[in-house]
Amino acid sequence: MIAAAVAGLLAGYGIAIPVGAVGAYLVAVTARTGWRTGAGAALGVATADGVYALLAVAGGSALVPLLAPVTTPLRWASAVVLVALAARAAVLAVRTYRAGALASRDDGATGLTPARAYVTFLGITILNPMTVVYFAALILATGPDAPATPAERTVFVLAALLASASWQLLLTTGGSLLGRTLAGPRGRLATALASSTLITVLAVRLVS
């Protein structure tokens, strides 16, 4: 049981720690809206990772061939959504700056509540089927030591979910501190434009 928990934690951190477009967007959203909204987004990402970990232990080896034909279209869909969100955030930040309304904690660049942030980030993250391939590959690679019993599989999934959630919440805390540091109108505008550019670059890399 302990081995399954350790394996789940390592797998969860392994998929969560590399900061890509979703991670950059998570930090940017938190910087503009506050920790509570960012936490909702972080839990959305973690939930998607947990769902894919569950699918992997339930039959990842059988799912991999089925996912192969749709991997590229889903990556394109994820990239398009992220670029659109980045562009929208940049445009709204410029408009808000010109209107002189960037002094508030929530500059209106996203319009997200914690619940909407959860759903939005769950949807963005679930568009990446490579996560289930990653978990399935890890499980297959462990051979006889892979989680075998229902209890071990449950522990593995929960540990992966916990690892992902803890890392995403750490990113959220960083975004919240960034938002407090750059609280002035120009600082918040610069943050919005820089993050939108970074998100766009990372999103393009998903399909390059």
Q: What whole-number distance in Å separates Cα of residue 92 and Cα of residue 104?
A: 14
- Can you give the pTM of this predicted structure? 0.72
More confident residue, 113 or 19: 113
Whole-number pLDDT of residue 45: 93
pLDDT at 72 over 60: yes
Whole-number pLDDT of residue 119: 94
Q: Are 150 and 26 in contact (CB under 8 A)?
A: no
The secondary structure of residue 103, as a DSSP letter, is: T
pLDDT band at 104 (very low <50, low <70, confident <90, very high): very low
Whole-number pLDDT of residue 183: 55
Tokens standing for residue 99: 């209107």
pLDDT at 109 over 50: no
- Which residues have C-beta within 8 Å of that of residue 13, sequence separation ≥ 6? 163, 164, 167
Q: End-to-end distance of the chain based on CA atoms, in angstroms?
A: 40
Q: What whole-number distance in Å separates Cα of residue 206 and Cα of residue 108?
A: 28
pLDDT band at 112 (very low <50, low <70, confident <90, very high): confident
Q: What whole-number distance in Å separates Cα of residue 35 and Cα of residue 90?
A: 20
Residue 20: count other Cβ atoms within 10 Å of its Cβ.
15
